[in-house]
């Protein structure tokens, strides 16, 4: 069950499941995130399926190392690394990207509309959402000059290797993809400019690679997942689509309600550094704490209509899709801006569309990873 947490609801605020302490109430998830002394982030990137020696050898052969850098860094080096990443993703830089992104999305949507009108099905994942966050990130951070497909293959392989149930053959294949691209990142970390050069001044080459790794894996991949999930959810919300078309509904509110109800990261981990009590449940030192972010967003204590998509409802923005506290997502502004552009430009495509194939999400502890999302048009103009 834990691998598909978006399909289930919690039966208690704290429960022991599959060797994790599963925390689902909004109050308790916040409490854990606000207390890094007791609940540290060191295990954030630990492989859910232990990586066997044979696959570790493959990774080591490529010089793979994943030191504490950002999300998995509870050491004193964290604030300086985070500060440089925050600078690269500063809200002013993000806002400056908006016209460029709007242009790209508008052109794509226009061509999709033509295809839909001619009766052709379109794949909103492949043809619209999949690569946008990577293209945007590449304008903010100096990235290796690789084909988008290569980077996406790497980032999805990493999400599978570290967060999915996988057998040995698959681990070996994934380790090869991840290790190979990690070596590409290592090379780039030696020469890259801007944020990369600034990170180099901190004096540890591994942390430059670690930061690039995390940005490429969690940063861009999560946002393309969110765009796909949100567009799909909107096909089931005709009143919201009508409100957007009329201009009576705010795009930002739609994005926020999407983050609350269809977050791309459904759970996130912490580790108990000492024995503690959570919601009356004893938590031993060393326990893996699994924070059910998606369920916290549906907690009846934060909104009056926790399961319904009601943009602008009171409490809608109190979701924990981006975490909270010292490790709160640095890319929140960027992903919100991207989602707002996509909703504003593409919602019209969905109004008269029929879903031919809903995105499918594979088993994963934390990431949704939706794939193909095919729609057809009903022949009406978007």
Instruction: State in angstroms the smallest separation of the CB of 366 from ligand HEM.
Output: 8
Instruction: State in angstroms the smallest separation of the CB of 127 from ligand HEM.
Output: 20
Binding string to ligand HEM for residues 144 to 183, with x set by CB under 6 A, is what?
Answer: ----------------------------------------
Query: Is 85 near ligand HEM (CB under 6 A)?
Result: yes
Give the residue among 381, 377, 380, 382 at the shortest CA–CA distance from 356.
377
Residue of 179, 192, 311, 331 interacting with ligand HEM (CB under 6 A)? 331
Instruction: State in angstroms the smallest separation of the CB of 356 from ligand HEM.
Output: 25
Interactions with ligand HEM, residue window 91-150 (CB under 6 A) = 133, 137
Distances (CA, A) of 267 to 47, 145, 178, 323, 370: 14, 32, 22, 10, 16
Q: Residue 127 half-sphere exposure, CB side, CA atoms within 13 Å?
A: 21
Query: Is 258 near ligand HEM (CB under 6 A)?
Result: no
Q: Would you state the structure tokens that stand for residue 105, as one six-digit string?
A: 């999305």
DSSP 222-258: HHHHHHHHHHHHHTT-HHHHHHHHHT-S-HHHHHHHH
The residues that bridge with 357 in the sheet, in sequence order, are 374
Query: Is 71 near ligand HEM (CB under 6 A)?
Result: yes
| Longest CA–CA separation in the chain, Å | 63
- CB distance 20 to 130 below 8 Å: no
Instruction: State in angstroms the smallest separation of the CB of 370 from ligand HEM.
Output: 13
Q: Would you state the structure tokens that stand for residue 243, as one six-digit string?
A: 């409100």
Using the contact rule CB under 6 A, the part of the chain among 7-15, 16-24, 151-159, 264-272 near ligand HEM is 264-272
Q: Smaller CB distance to ligand HEM: residue 58 or 342?
A: 342
Interactions with ligand HEM, residue window 207-236 (CB under 6 A) = 214-215, 218-219, 222-223, 226
Residue 133 CB contacts under 8 Å (≥ 6 apart), including other chains: 219, 220, 221, 222, 223, 224, 227, 334, 335, 338
Query: Is 267 near ligand HEM (CB under 6 A)?
Result: no
Residue of 13, 68, 192, 323 interacting with ligand HEM (CB under 6 A)? 323
Binding string to ligand HEM for residues 19 to 38, with x set by CB under 6 A, is what?
Answer: --------------x-----
Query: Is 266 near ligand HEM (CB under 6 A)?
Result: no
Q: Smaller CB distance to ligand HEM: residue 64 or 322?
A: 322
Instruction: State in angstroms the smallest separation of the CB of 228 from ligand HEM.
Output: 11
> Which residues in 35-65 are b (16+ Cβ under 10 Å) and which e?
ebebbbbbebbeebbebeeebbebbeebebe
Residue 207 CB contacts under 8 Å (≥ 6 apart), including other chains: 67, 69, 77, 81, 199
| Pairing verdict, β 288-292 and 20-23 | parallel
**Site size with ligand HEM, rule: CB under 6 A:** 32
- CB distance 352 to 112 below 8 Å: no
Instruction: State the residues that interact with ligand HEM by CB under 6 A.
Output: 33, 41, 70-71, 82, 85, 89, 133, 137, 214-215, 218-219, 222-223, 226, 263-265, 268, 321-325, 327-331, 334-335
């Amino acid at each position: 069950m834990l691998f598909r947490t978006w399909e289930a609801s919690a039966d208690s605020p704290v429960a022991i499941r599959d060797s994790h302490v599963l925390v689902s109430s909004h109050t308790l998830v916040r409490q854990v995130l606000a207390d890094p002394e007791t609940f540290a982030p060191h295990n954030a990137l630990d492989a859910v399926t232990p990586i066997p020696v044979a696959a570790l050898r493959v990774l080591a052969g490529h010089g793979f190392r994943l030191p504490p850098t950002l999300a998995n860094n509870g050491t004193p080096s964290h604030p300086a690394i985070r500060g440089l990443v925050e600078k690269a993703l500063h809200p002013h830089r993000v806002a400056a990207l908006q016209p460029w992104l709007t242009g790209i999305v508008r052109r794509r949507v226009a061509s999709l509309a033509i295809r839909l009108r001619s009766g052709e099905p379109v794949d909103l994942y492949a043809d619209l959402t999949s690569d946008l966050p990577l293209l945007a990130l590449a304008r903010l951070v100096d990235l290796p000059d690789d084909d988008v497909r290569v980077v996406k293959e790497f980032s999805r392989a990493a999400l599978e290797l570290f967060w999915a149930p996988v057998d040995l053959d698959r681990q070996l294949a994934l380790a090869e993809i991840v290790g190979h691209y990690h070596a590409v990142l290592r090379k780039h970390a030696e020469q890259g400019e801007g944020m990369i050069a600034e990170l180099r001044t901190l004096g540890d080459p591994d942390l430059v690679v670690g930061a690039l790794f995390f940005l490429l894996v969690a940063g861009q991949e999560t946002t393309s997942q969110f765009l796909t999930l949100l567009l799909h959810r909107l096909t089931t919300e005709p009143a919201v689509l009508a409100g957007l078309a009329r201009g009576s509904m705010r795009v930002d509110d739609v994005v926020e309600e999407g983050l609350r109800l269809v977050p791309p990261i459904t759970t996130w981990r912490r580790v108990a550094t000492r024995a503690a009590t959570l919601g009356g449940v004893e938590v031993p030192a060393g326990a893996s704490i699994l924070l059910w972010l998606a369920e916290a967003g549906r907690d009846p204590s934060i909104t009056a209509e926790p399961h319904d998509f009601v943009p602008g409802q009171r409490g809608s923005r109190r979701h924990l899709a981006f975490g909270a506290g010292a490790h709160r997502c640095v890319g929140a502004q960027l992903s919100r801006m991207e989602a707002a552009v996509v909703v504003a430009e593409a919602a019209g495509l969905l109004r008269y569309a029929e879903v031919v194939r809903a995105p499918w999400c594979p088993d994963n502890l934390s990431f949704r990873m939706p794939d193909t999302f095919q729609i057809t048009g009903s022949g009406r103009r978007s």
